[in-house]
């Protein structure tokens, strides 16, 4: 079995020890550490069905006779040896403490439950000839086909429950429990109080406590879990003899270490306990599955109960009471049914190799697990992997040699459940290996890490260093702050960026890159998206006919980045929903009877084209983009992407492009950081680092803010608002995150200031004055100055027109005349601006100290 194809070619589970191959994994070996191995070896040729071999269930359906003759004839199927059937467990559990709490069937453990499981407890007389004839006389007896000894297994599990302590537990299930006390004992207490008879057991705990028991659980879940059930019930009713439960406690293991991707499941995993992750795509309606049939004799009225045996019901041929044959009729109303639901799981998109379609797998949920999950949920399921042969018709001679596979689920665990509540990023915490963390930390210590990361961003896009830096800071984001106590709620931590510029300056490419880089990115185009597409809409689910809330791009990119291309082409209606999202980070919906507020903690990266498709340098940003300034002020950074028109730049650009087209992939990769490293770096920083402002940094921020206000106040204009201060804080925090620093230092503030200024210099430069003027962004007008300027310009024009038609005038003379005419004071600056405005109209030109009229 050492052939390279052993993965597929190997027998899934050699049923007898003789055929066992030494290379098969340890979990497959049914070998105990004790001396009874020899005993087990003594039954090589027994024709019994191997419980674990996938061939086992075949006899349920492939052969028409309900009881294949391969069973050891002496095993009495109804003997109390068979635990696990409702009746037998009630009477068969000898402990008095269980007090007749009804046991509930566990269809999740499979319908082959009644296959020849020979529970050879040593105090019981061994009735089975095949096994009983073992020479050792039943000292260490095990369940047929396994190495599980029920008593030992029970003891071990009870010991585990009573002793296991996990002081470092961080799971939310354990919230409120004393971590230094035995964990599962506390859970039992919880059960006695709450009355929900389900005990979830983390397999990781079990493994750390008793690896052998864990191995048995994973290899023979079908046998071991009922044993656990028995053990836990004994324990529970010993401790809480007076508590009342609806039915006996069921143990649900989860988080089996055999956690796998759906793709790696193979025939070896059949009948083993596995945990896989995926996304629910479909749930069926509830299916009633008969567990116990009730027959009544139509002649004498005597009744009989028949349990389902591997999907079949043996109809009594004759009435036991009156001995009339074929008189028994099934009474549906009095039969017992259990709930069952088919759930289809699809591989999560992250687990899939590129270029392939996702795999799906069928999962059966039973009893209370029915309707626990909805389509779209991301879940981890723990269950037993099954293979059932395709059903064949008894009349057909040939069979399809294919099995159908499914998972009988034991435990569901939603992975995205927490996203609806609070700010919890643990749920999506990516697990980093030690090595990775180490290498990331090393990288963070490099002095030029900021530059390195920035240049690793979209290497195919040339230069635009500051824009890339801005986007990098956006990817990291600021720290979350909660001011709910003081009544302001959450502060936005996300950085919003607007890219604005000529067509063909690779804005879209940048957006695409960012969208591909972040795990929860959304890409929409302003032209193609409507308000509902961005926010959320209510629709009728075609299957359930219930109203369901379908979320749009902004909600989907919660904790991610929403890239909006062609921002300018968006309708005003659509854009207005962005107001709330971009500052409050929530989305309020009130429609069709659903009123709710959804979190939309998304950073917005938008790209807009100028109105005239080409940037008009004579106009202000507002005039060029034509976006409402209320929205513009919500962007932390607004970058202009314009052609620098510079020879050196051109040369570098040309070189970059030519090598892009010519060099192979490898050469380019060497120069830059790997995209995956960048991804991990960002993910790590976002998860683990939340910097706080240091004293010096606060001082620096205050100074920066005061400076920003001063710039404008000199000319009677306010140039910065508190919103800009918040932006500065966010940017400094993000920069500190880049350094993996828990403290925001002055250098972070310096960089934030620089970037803010760079962005502003480009976007908020008043083209007429050359001054930075934030009010262009916040109000669309440089305060009242521009209005005043217009008036002055008009007055000046009128004055010139009324004057004699001299083609040239003295500058100083004009100023004095205007001052004399005007009621309010005309400053020299104002006069200059008025002249420039008229010059823009091509009415006059100013050369030195003379003003010439044109035309």
Among 24, 186, 261, 525, binds another protein (CB under 8 A): 525
- Alpha carbons within 13 angstroms on the beta-carbon side of residue 155 total 4
The SS3 call for residue 259 is strand
CB of 22 to another protein, least distance (A): 12
Contact between 799 and another protein per CB under 8 A: no
Q: How far is the CB of 769 from another protein (least distance, A)?
A: 25
Give the x/- contact pattern for another protein in 208-247, rule: CB under 8 A.
----------------------------------------
Give yes or no for a contact between 652 and 462, defined as CB atoms under 8 angstroms apart.
Answer: yes
Shortest Cβ distance from residue 29 to another protein (Å)? 16
Closer to another protein by Cβ: residue 404 or 710: 404
Segment 170-209, which members bind another protein (CB under 8 A)? none
Pattern 61-100, another protein, x by CB under 8 A: xxx----x-x------------------------------
Query: Under the criterion CB under 8 A, does residue 344 sit at the interface with another protein?
Result: yes
Question: Binding marks (x or -) toward another protein, 611..630, rule CB under 8 A?
Answer: --x-----------------
Which residue from 42, 324, 362, 443 is in contact with another protein, where contact means CB under 8 A? 362
Rg of the chain taking only CA atoms, in angstroms: 38
Query: What letters, b where the CB count within 10 A reaches 16 and e where it falls short, cover 764-793?
Result: bbbebbeebbbbbbbbbbbbebbebbeebb
DSSP 450: H
End-to-end Cα spacing for the chain: 98
Shortest distance, CB of residue 844 to another protein, whole angstroms?
Answer: 28
Query: Between the CA of residue 820 and those of 457, 785, 813, what are the distances in Å?
Result: 59, 20, 11
Choose which of 660, 702, 808, 854 interacts with another protein (CB under 8 A). Answer: 660
- Cα–Cα distances in Å, from 165 out to 236, 249, 753? 18, 21, 51
Cβ nearer to another protein, comparing 360 with 630: 360
Identity of the residue, 163 or 400, whose beta carbon is nearer to another protein in the bound complex: 400
- Which region among 32-40, 116-124, 350-358, 719-727 touches another protein (by CB under 8 A)? 350-358
Our CB check for another protein shows the closer of 200 and 284 to be: 284
| C-beta closer to another protein: residue 164 or 513 | 513
- Given the complex with another protein, which of 35 and 266 has the nearer CB atom? 266
Check binding of 718 to another protein (CB under 8 A).
no
Within 123-152, the residues that bind another protein by CB under 8 A are: none
Site string for another protein, 395-424 (x = CB under 8 A): -xxxxxxxxxxx------------------
Angle, vertex CA 300, rays to CA 295 and CA 301, nearest 5: 40
Quote the least distance from Cβ 571 to another protein, whole Å.
13
Q: Is 14 in the site for another protein (CB under 8 A)?
A: yes
- DSSP symbols for 538-576: EEE-TTT--EEEEE-HHHHTTTSEEEEESGGGS-HHHHH
Q: Using the minimum distance from each CB to another protein, give the nearer residue, 155 or 643.
A: 643
Question: Mask of contacts with another protein, 260-289, x by CB under 8 A?
Answer: ------xx--x--------x-xx-x--x-x
The residue within the footprint of another protein, chosen from 655, 692, 761, 810 (CB under 8 A), is 655
Q: What are phi and psi of 77, to 5 degrees?
A: -65, -25
Angstrom CA distances, 836 to 151, 466, 689, 832, 840, stand at 98, 32, 51, 6, 6
- State the Cα torsion 831-836-837-839 to the nearest 10°: 130
In whole angstroms, how close is the CB of 319 to another protein at the nearest point?
A: 23
Closest approach of another protein to the CB of residue 419, in Å? 15
Looking at 49-57, 250-258, 465-473, 773-781, which segment touches another protein (CB under 8 A)? 49-57
Q: Does 353 bind another protein (CB under 8 A)?
A: yes
Closest by CA to 40, choosing from 146, 153, 124, is 146
Q: Is residue 774 within the footprint of another protein (CB under 8 A)?
A: no
Residue 675 is a binding residue for another protein (CB under 8 A): yes
CA–CA distances in Å: residue 632 to residues 415, 622, 625, 635, 657? 37, 9, 10, 6, 33
For another protein, which residue of 9, 73, 102, 807 counts as binding (CB under 8 A)? Answer: 9
Residue 334 interacts with another protein (CB under 8 A): yes or no:
no
Q: Report which of 516, 439, 514 is spatially closest to residue 472, judged by C-alpha positions.
A: 514
Residue list 504-523, contact with another protein (CB under 8 A) = 504-506, 508-509, 512-513, 516
Q: Should residue 165 be labelled a site residue for another protein when binding is judged by CB under 8 A?
A: no
Site stretch for another protein (CB under 8 A), options 28-36, 338-346, 365-373, 700-708: 338-346
Q: Which of 398, 338, 433, 412 is nearest to 369 (CA)?
A: 412
* Least Cβ distance, residue 660 to another protein (angstroms): 6
The C-alpha atoms of residue 384 and residue 221 are separated, in whole angstroms, by 7
Interacting span for another protein (CB under 8 A) from 45-53, 230-238, 681-689, 700-708? 45-53
Residue 327 CB, nearest approach to another protein (Å) = 22
Of 332, 408, 323, 421, the C-alpha closest to 364 is 408
Stretch that binds another protein, among 186-194, 348-356, 439-447, 723-731 (CB under 8 A): 348-356
- Residue pair 853/843 in contact (Cβ under 8 Å)? The answer is yes
Q: Could you tell me how many residues of this chain bind another protein (CB under 8 A)?
A: 114
**What is the spatial distance between Cα 107 and Cα 390, in angstroms, rounded to a whole number?**
20
Rounded distance between C-alpha atoms, residue 201 and residue 253, angstroms: 4
Three-state secondary structure call for residue 387? strand
Instruction: Output 293 or 815, the one with its CB closest to another protein.
Output: 293
What is the nearest approach in angstroms of another protein to the Cβ of residue 560? 13
How far apart, in whole angstroms, are the C-alpha atoms of residue 311 and residue 289?
9
How far apart CA 109 and CA 140 sit, in angstroms, is 25
């Amino acid at each position: 079995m050492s052939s390279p194809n052993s993965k597929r070619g190997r027998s899934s589970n050699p049923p007898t020890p003789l055929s066992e191959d030494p290379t098969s994994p340890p979990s497959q070996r049914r070998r105990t550490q004790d001396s009874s191995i020899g005993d087990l070896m003594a039954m090589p040729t027994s024709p019994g069905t191997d419980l674990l071999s996938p061939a086992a269930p075949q006899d349920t359906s492939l052969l028409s006779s309900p009881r294949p003759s391969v069973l050891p004839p002496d095993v009495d199927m109804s003997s109390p040896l068979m635990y696990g059937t409702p009746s037998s467990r009630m009477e068969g559990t000898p402990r008095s403490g269980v007090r007749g709490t009804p046991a509930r069937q566990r269809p999740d453990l499979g319908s082959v439950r009644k296959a020849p499981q020979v529970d050879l407890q040593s105090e019981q007389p061994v009735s089975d000839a095949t096994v009983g004839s073992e020479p050792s006389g039943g000292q260490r007896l095990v369940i047929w086909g396994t190495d599980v000894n029920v008593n030992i297994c029970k003891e071990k599990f009870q010991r585990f429950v009573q002793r296991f302590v996990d002081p470092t537990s961080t799971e939310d299930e354990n919230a409120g429990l004393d971590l230094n006390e035995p964990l599962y004992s506390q859970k039992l207490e919880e059960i006695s109080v709450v009355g929900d008879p389900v005990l979830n057991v983390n397999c990781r705990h079990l493994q750390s406590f008793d690896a052998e028991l864990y191995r048995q659980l994973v290899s023979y879940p079908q046998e071991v879990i009922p044993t656990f059930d028995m053990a836990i019930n004994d324990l529970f009713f010993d401790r809480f003899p007076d508590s009342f439960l609806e039915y006996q406690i069921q143990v649900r293991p989860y988080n089996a270490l055999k956690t796998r991707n759906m793709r790696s499941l193979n025939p070896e995993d059949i009948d083993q306990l596995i945990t896989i992750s995926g996304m629910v795509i479909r749930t069926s309606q509830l299916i009633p599955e008969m567990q116990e049939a009730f027959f009544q004799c139509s002649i004498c009225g005597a009744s009989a109960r028949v349990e389902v045996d591997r999907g079949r019901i043996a109809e009594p041929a004759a009435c036991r009471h009156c001995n009339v044959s074929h008189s028994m009729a099934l009474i549906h109303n009095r039969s017992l049914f259990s709930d069952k639901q088919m759930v289809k799981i699809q591989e999560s998109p992250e687990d899939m190799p590129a270029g392939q379609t996702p795999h799906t797998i069928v999962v059966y949920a039973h009893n209370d697990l029915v309707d626990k999950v909805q389509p779209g949920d991301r879940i981890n399921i723990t269950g037993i992997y099954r293979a059932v042969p395709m059903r064949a018709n008894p009349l057909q001679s040939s069979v399809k040699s294919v099995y159908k596979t499914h998972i009988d689920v034991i435990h569901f665990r939603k992975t995205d459940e927490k996203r609806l509540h609070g700010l919890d990023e643990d749920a999506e915490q990516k697990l980093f290996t030690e090595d990775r963390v180490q290498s990331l930390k090393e990288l963070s210590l490099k002095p030029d890490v900021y530059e390195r990361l920035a240049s690793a961003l979209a290497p195919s896009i040339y230069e635009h260093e500051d824009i890339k830096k801005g986007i990098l800071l956006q990817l990291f984001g600021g720290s979350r702050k909660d001011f709910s106590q003081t009544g302001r709620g959450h502060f936005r931590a996300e950085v919003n960026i607007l890219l604005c510029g000529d067509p063909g300056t690779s804005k879209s490419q940048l957006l695409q890159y960012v969208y591909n880089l972040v795990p929860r990115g959304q890409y929409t185009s302003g032209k193609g998206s409507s308000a509902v597409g961005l926010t959320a809409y209510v629709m009728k689910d075609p299957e359930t006919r219930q109203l369901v809330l379908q979320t749009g791009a902004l909600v989907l990119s919660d904790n991610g980045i929403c890239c909006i291309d062609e921002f300018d082409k968006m309708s005003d209606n659509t854009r207005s929903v962005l107001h709330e999202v971009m500052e409050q980070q929530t989305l309020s919906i009130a429609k069709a009877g659903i009123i709710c507020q959804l979190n939309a903690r998304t950073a917005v990266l938008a790209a807009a084209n100028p109105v005239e498709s080409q940037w008009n340098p004579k106009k202000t940003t507002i005039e060029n983009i034509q976006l409402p300034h209320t929205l513009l002020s919500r962007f932390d950074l607004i970058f202009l992407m314009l052609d620098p028109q510079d020879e050196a730049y051109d040369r570098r650009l040309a070189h970059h492009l030519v090598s892009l087209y010519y060099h192979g992939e490898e050469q380019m990769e060497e120069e830059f950081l790997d995209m995956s490293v960048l991804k991990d770096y960002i993910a790590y920083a976002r998860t683990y680092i939340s910097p706080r402002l240091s004293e010096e940094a606060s001082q620096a921020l205050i100074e920066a803010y005061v400076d920003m206000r001063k710039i404008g106040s000199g000319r009677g204009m306010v140039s910065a608002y508190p919103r800009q201060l918040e932006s500065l804080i966010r940017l400094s925090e993000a920069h500190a995150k880049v350094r993996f620093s828990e403290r925001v230092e002055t250098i972070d503030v310096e960089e934030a200031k620089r970037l803010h200024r760079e962005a502003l210099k480009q976007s908020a430069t008043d083209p007429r004055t050359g001054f930075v003027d934030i009010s262009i962004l916040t109000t669309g007008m440089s305060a009242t100055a521009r209005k005043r300027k217009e008036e002055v310009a008009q007055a000046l024009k009128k004055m010139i027109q009324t004057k004699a038609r001299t083609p040239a005038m003295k500058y100083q003379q004009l100023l004095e005349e205007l001052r004399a005419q005007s009621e309010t004071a005309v400053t020299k600056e104002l006069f200059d601006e008025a002249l420039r405005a008229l010059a823009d109209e091509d009415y006059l030109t100013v050369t030195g100290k003379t003003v010439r009229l044109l035309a």
